[in-house]
Amino acid sequence: MSLQRTYLRAGEPVEVKAERVGGDHWRVRVGNLDYEFRATARSDGGIRLVPVGGDAKAACVAYGARAGQAFMVRVTGSTHLLSAPQPRRKGSLEATGMIRAPMTGTVMRVNCKVGDVVEADQTLAVLTAMKMEHKLCAGLAGIVRKVVASEGANVEQGTILIEVEASKP
Amino acid sequence: MPAPLAKPPFRRVLIANRGEIAVRICRGLRELGIESIAVYSDVDREAAHVLAADHAVALFGNSAAESYLDVGKILAAAKAMGAEAIHPGYGFLSENSSFARAVREAGFVFIGPNPAAMERLGGKKAAREEAIRAGVPVIPGTEQDEGDASLVAAAKKIGLPVMVKASAGGGGRGMRMVEREQDLAEAIASGRREAKAAFGDDRMILEKAVAPARHIEIQLMGDQHGNVVSLHERECSVQRRHQKVLEEAPSPAVDAVLRARMGAAAILLGKAVGYDNAGTAEFLVDAQGNFYFLEVNARLQVEHPVTELVTGVDLVHLQLRVAAGERLDDLLRGRDLQPRGHALEARICAESPEQGFLPAAGLLRLVCEPMGPGIRVDSGVYSGFAVPVFYDSLLAKLIVYAPDRATACTRMAQALRDSVYLGIPTNVDFLRRVVEDPDFRAGKLTTDFLKYKPDVVAGGGSEPSDLALAAAVLCEAIAPRALAGHVSSVDAASGGSGGRCSSAVWNELGGFRVFGDGV
């Protein structure tokens, strides 16, 4: 059995490939380095990892779970959110003109409509989740080209709510 | 389990709350031989508090307003289930005196202060006036809300920076510090909206900002016979957006003399208004040891466990027994209440400190909570629970107890390393960074502690090691339990198709009938 994933680290894709050598013995290639582990599942949902040929004290417990489109791993007391490289979409809009929902929540207010001329940092909408309000501000000065958000709508994290086209200098 | 009391104070109590506090109250009830009744919204039908209770009643709807804040539904549930008393927990209706009155008028006991005392101390404004009358020092500020224009004028008179606060409540809702005059109007307006949503009351007050200061509070307990005792201080200085992050008892800044003075001031205030049951008097303490009264939280506090650990008192038991009319001098006779050892509490929340503390609802796929000597976890979640978007982001509280503060800090750091909450962002790693901070270890705490610690808040931005990457792929290969079935976070949060919880509530509860006679 083998399993291969590509995750971003410091913005660079890193290929990780795990191959079962036999039993609980695994060989894992991370980038161009090879590691060998004895890996066993624990009843609490985690795994126990012992480096083969290494110091027995280097044994550790790791926990992993999917988190939306990403993978969350917790090892030696730190959690990392790992995501696969995304293909870049080309578009006429600057990235900063896209106002995305920074969290899953409810749209409380929309302060703009298509065609509005807006200033950088102007509040375009207000989102609420878990009893807290969050302002969504324009990343740049420009013209509102699209308003997807409607008041009262539940939106998922990452949804584009408003698009602003940069004003020409 | 300890033997139930010969005569439990009540037979059956309804808990008008959710999450970890409802679970914790269920435990207290069970220990006293009292049956517990949970209430729940649609998304909470398999929540931890429903599983922990002996009975459960659906409130229907999801927003707080149509579920946990709906007085009519809660009273109907209590009546249908034959409850004798209602425990409001914290938040929701806990400090709403009209709810407390409605509970009493419907013939139930309200597990909390009498409504008259609550009215005199519950709101920030009323409490402040009582404190001035009782001779307890307060911070300069406005006494009432006469509209936006008068608040702005008052702010100029008091002098910036000022705190804009909701008159009705606590928990940081609606609270903002304003340093520039041009920010006042927006702060008041958004404070009003948050206060309206959280408490149903949008009145605001202003206070001069005292900084740097420590947030130190006194736990009070009163009975119906005029007794009020102090169970000493908790320090809750480490805050973000005026919400507490880490709490402890005793405070590293409080000696026996200051403890006695603050305790006496809080008791004076409590006795002046005829306070009974649990309550907390909050103070700001400056570097010279001057203390200023802020407000009274007329309810059990989130951070009550640290007091329980250092005093050996079970606050929920005491609440129930004084509500049933027992006397504190009987209940506490012969008890040494002096604080012993040191306790710390960390609030584990579904939020991302690295991204400005954005809250994060969604499916908690894998939860493993720490255990060991001196570790207590008051939790409201489990593996497979979808954290709803509708309520507070608090998932669980990790509380440690040790003989001294240094050991408690080490124990907390280790317990946080052993805490696993995966599937949505949490503040666990941030809490560990706080506890490992040298100034935190040295007890140098102020309410703006985090303002000067951008690295503690943001984290080092450390990249995953080769070990972390290898572990991720191996977890996926051999421990697939936490991976199965993608549920979109909106679905999960709104209780849509994502019913993948491992609970067995329907089996356990069998044929109970909502508002019916099935039990």
Residues A78 and A103 in one domain: no
Q: Is the pLDDT at B493 greater than 50, yes or no?
A: no
Are A121 and A70 in a shared domain? no
The shortest C-alpha distance from A166 to chain B (Å) reads 25
DSSP label of B497 = S
Whether residue A118 is found in the same domain as residue A154:
yes
**Closest residue to B366, CB basis, from A31, A45, A105:** A45
B214 in Cβ contact with B233 (< 8 Å): no
State the pLDDT at residue B138: 94
One-letter identity of residue B110:
F
| Alpha-carbon dihedral B280, B281, B285, B290, rounded to 10 degrees | -150
Q: A73, B472: Cβ pair inside 8 Å?
A: yes
* A20 & A70 share domain: yes
CB contact under 8 A, B471 and A64: yes
Task: Give the pLDDT band of residue B3 (cuts 50, 70, 90).
Answer: low
Q: What does chain B come to in residues? A: 519
In terms of domains, do A118 and A48 share one?
Answer: no
- Which two three-digit tokens encode residue B24? 């914790």
* Candidates 3.90.550.10, 3.40.50.2000, 2.40.128.280, 3.30.470.20; CATH matching B212-340: 3.30.470.20
Fold of B343-437+464-519: D-amino Acid Aminotransferase; Chain A, domain 1 (3.30.470)
- B427-460: per-residue pLDDT in tens? 999 999 999 999 999 999 999 999 999 999 988 7
- Sequence ranges of the domains in chain B: 12-111, 140-208, 212-340, 343-437+464-519
Q: Which segments of B220-274 does DSSP mark as H helices, in order?
A: 256-272
CATH of the domain at A153: 2.40.50.100
Q: How many CB pairs (< 8 A) connect A and B?
A: 203
Interface membership of B423 toward A (CB under 8 Å): yes
> At B280, which amino acid appears?
T
Domain that holds residue A22: 2-82
DSSP B420-475: EEESS--SHHHHHHHHT-HHHHTT---TTGGGG-HHHHH---PPPPHHHHHHHHHH
Q: Are B16 and B88 in contact (CB under 8 A)?
A: yes
Q: How confident is the model at residue B144 (pLDDT cuts 50, 70, 90)?
A: confident
Higher confidence at residue B285 or residue B161? B285
A126 and A75 assigned to the same domain:
no
Short-list B36, B33, B39, CA closest to B25: B36
Does a structural domain hold residue A90? no
Tell me which of A30, A49, A82 is where a domain ends.
A82
What pLDDT sits at residue B170? 65
Q: Is there a domain that residue A149 lies in?
A: yes
pLDDT averaged per 10 residues in sequence order, chain A, 169 residues: 94 96 96 95 94 84 93 94 76 65 86 90 86 82 89 85 83
Tell me how close the Cα of A14 comes to any Cα of chain B, in angstroms: 9
Give the pLDDT of residue B171: 62
Task: Looking at the complex, report in whole angstroms how far the Cα of residue B483 sits from the nearest Cα belonging to chain A.
Answer: 5
In a shared domain, residues A76 and A14: yes
Residues A37 and A105 in one domain: no
Residues B51-88 pLDDT 10s: 999 999 999 999 999 999 999 999 999 999 999 999 99
Number of domains comprising chain A = 2
Residues A100 and A138 in one domain: yes
| Interface ipTM | 0.81
Residues 6+ apart with CB under 8 A from B456: B430, B433, B434, B437, B450
- CATH number, domain B140-208: 3.30.1490.20
Query: pLDDT by residue (tens digit) across B181-204?
Result: 889 988 999 889 888 888 888 899
Considering the domain architecture, whether residues A76 and A17 belong to the same structural domain is answered as: yes
Spacing of C-alpha B350 from chain mean position: 15
In which band, very low, low, confident or very high, does the pLDDT at B481 lie, cut at 50, 70 and 90? Answer: low
Q: Which fold has domain B12-111?
A: Rossmann fold (3.40.50)
Answer yes or no: is A113 within a domain. yes
Whether residue A89 lies inside any domain: the answer is no
More confident residue, B296 or A127: B296
- Among the candidates A19, A50, A82, a domain finishes at A82
Of the candidates A155, A33, A169, A77, which has an alpha carbon nearest to the alpha carbon of residue B368?
A77
B488 and A CB contact within 8 Å: yes
CA distances from A132 to B32, B174, B351 (A): 37, 9, 11
pLDDT surpassing 70 at residue B256: yes
CB atoms inside a 10 Å sphere around CB B234: 29
- Interatomic CA distance for residues A19 and A30, integer angstroms: 12
CATH code at position A40: 2.40.128
Distance CA B209, CA B158 (A): 10
Query: Is B511 a residue whose pLDDT tops 70?
Result: no
Q: Is A100 a member of any domain?
A: yes
Q: Which residue has the higher pLDDT, B170 or A42?
A: A42
Give the pLDDT confidence score for residue B167 in this predicted structure: 83
- In this complex, is the C-beta atom of B166 within 8 Å of any C-beta atom belonging to chain A? no
Flag whether pLDDT at B502 surpasses 50.
no
Query: A67 and A134: one domain?
Result: no
Q: What amino acid positions of B are annotated as catalytic residues?
A: 299
Q: Testing the interface with A: which of B355, B390, B422, B429 to mutate, by most A Cβ within 10 A?
A: B422
CA B316 to chain centre: 14
Do B144 and B205 contact (CB within 8 A), yes or no? yes
Residue indicated by tokens 């919400």: B243
Considering the domain boundaries, does residue A87 fall inside one? no
Q: Taking the model in full, what pTM does it have?
A: 0.84
For residue B496, pLDDT over 70 is answered with no
Same domain, residue pair A102 and A154 = yes
List, as ranges, residues 356-385 from B with C-beta within 8 Å of A.
358-362, 365-366, 368, 383
Span B112-130, mean pLDDT? Answer: 88
pLDDT of residue B446: 96
Is the pLDDT score of B290 beyond 60? Answer: yes
For strands A33-41 and A47-51, give the pairing: antiparallel
